[in-house]
């Protein structure tokens, strides 16, 4: 299952060189992952109340081209893989008009308690939702 988030590049997203500042991509990618989790039925606020958090433990971003002011961009997010300990989200940031890829990213997350203690096994609720998320690989 893939989530698509669309936005445009605003002046505040750019740097002194007139291109998108590298940190803006992180904000867009975070939004994409949160929206994907919502789409899978994983409301992060409710999860926190249930003593479950899924922080990022590893991220890998490859910047391939620079988006510029007023570009329309699309952020695609999907669950690439998961197991009983972690989940890997894959994401792309690309031009809506041309399809040119600006960035590719992967984020590994684990399940922890609110106190930061690692779950020995990811809670069953998360496993079921992530399984649903990878059930339609043709959409990726």
Contact 20, 102 (CB under 8 A): yes
Residue recorded with tokens 């940190």: 23
Helices (H), the chain: 22-39, 44-49, 124-134
Helices (H), 14-72: 22-39, 44-49
Give the C-alpha distances (Å, rounded to integers) separating 59 from 56, 68, 97, 128, 135. Answer: 7, 24, 27, 23, 23
Task: Please report the pLDDT score of residue 140 as a whole number.
Answer: 39
Task: Please report the pLDDT score of residue 135 as a whole number.
Answer: 59
pLDDT at 138 over 60: no
Superfamily in which the 2-135 domain is placed by CATH: Hotdog Thioesterase (3.10.129.10)
Provide the β-strand partners of residue 7: 73
Which pLDDT tens digit goes with each residue over 36-84?
999 999 999 999 999 999 999 999 999 999 999 999 999 999 999 999 9
- Cα(10)–Cα(21) distance, rounded to whole angstroms? 11
Residue recorded with tokens 């096994």: 121
Q: Write phi, then psi, for 138 (nearest 5 degrees).
A: -65, -20
Task: Please report the pLDDT score of residue 139 as a whole number.
Answer: 42
Domain ranges of the chain: 2-135
Which pLDDT tens digit goes with each residue over 96-113?
999 999 999 999 999 999
């Amino acid at each position: 299952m893939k989530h698509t988030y669309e936005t445009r590049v605003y002046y505040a997203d750019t740097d002194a060189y007139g291109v998108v500042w590298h940190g803006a991509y992180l904000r867009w990618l975070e939004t994409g992952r949160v929206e994907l989790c919502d789409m899978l039925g994983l409301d992060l606020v409710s999860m926190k109340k249930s003593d479950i958090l899924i922080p990022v433990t590893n991220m890998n971003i490859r910047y391939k081209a620079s988006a510029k002011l007023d570009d329309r961009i699309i952020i695609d997010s999907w669950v690439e893989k998961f197991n009983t300990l972690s989940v890997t989200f894959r994401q792309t940031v690309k031009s809506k008009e041309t399809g040119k890829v600006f960035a590719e990213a992967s984020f590994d997350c684990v399940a922890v308690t609110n106190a930061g203690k690692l779950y020995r096994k990811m809670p069953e609720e998360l496993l079921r939702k992530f399984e649903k998320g990878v059930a339609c690989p043709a959409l990726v």
